[in-house]
A and B are shown apart, each in its own frame.
Chain A
Amino acid sequence: KAGVTQTPRYLIKTRGQQVTLSCSPISGHRSVSWYQQTPGQGLQFLFEYFSETQRNKGNFPGRFSGRQFSNSRSEMNVSTLELGDSALYLCASSRSGDASTDTQYFGPGTRLTVL
């Protein structure tokens, strides 16, 4: 069974640009969550999608957005990039998205560097 895949693995952008990251969940999983990992803040929750609907959103500015397609694949977009957006972006998939009962499986992440 293939794991969670994320593309691209590495990205270099300049300030002011926008970027789109992609996540393909494990087959049969309908929930995709996104996290940002930085050395200073650690792992922080961005948002979670289930059946194309955003169910929960973390405390990030509106420049961070996402969507989910009917095949459960998800994309996240960051507009008007800032230096502080440099981070490892991880997505996780699960069957129901209910982290109280459902194991979440993480992808390898996309390393975004903003210059």
Chain B
Amino acid sequence: KQEVTQIPAALSVPEGENLVLNCSFTDSAIYNLQWFRQDPGKGLTSLLLIQSSQREQTSGRLNASLDKSSGRSTLYIAASQPGDSATYLCAVVNSGGSNYKLTFGKGTLLTVNP
């Protein structure tokens, strides 16, 4: 059974700092890994999707890497801003079973202080 773990559970940083969020998964048989952002009272917003054949994806100040063999992904946020404060979730789609569902970690609550 796939399990996704995110460390740390919460992170507080001063504005301008570069930071890394971690995600690990137990079963490396995945189609892709996705990073989402969740703001209070709102749904999830897709940030980056990395296919299993890819090593990284970039969007603006965000860079996500994937090491499928070791079951790890990182989300790098450059020059953090208060507006980046949110919960960040990673999720995988398993290739060994249903490809209709995402298996999520419990998220990292990020606070960027002005």
B101 at the A interface (CB under 8 A):
yes
B64 at the interface (CB under 8 A from A): no
Q: Is A97 a contact of B100 with CB atoms below 8 Å?
A: yes
- Partner of B100 from the list A43, A98, A103 (CB cut-off 8 Å) is A98
* Residues from chain B with Cβ under 8 Å of A104 in the complex: 46, 102
Number of A-B contacts (CB under 8 A): 59
Given that A33-B100, A45-B102, A56-B101 are contacting pairs, would A100 and B31 also be in contact in the complex, using a CB cutoff of 8 Å? yes
* Residues of B within 8 A of A (CB-CB), count: 24
A48/B100 contact (C-beta < 8 A), A99-B93, A100-B93, A103-B49 known? yes
Interface size class of A (residues with CB under 8 A): 20 to 34
Interface: A25 (CB within 8 A): no
A interface residues with partner B (beta carbon < 8 Å)? 4, 31, 33, 35, 42-45, 48, 55-56, 58, 90, 92, 97-101, 103-109
Lowest 4 CB-CB distances: which A-B pairs, in order? A100-B31, A106-B43, A43-B104, A42-B106
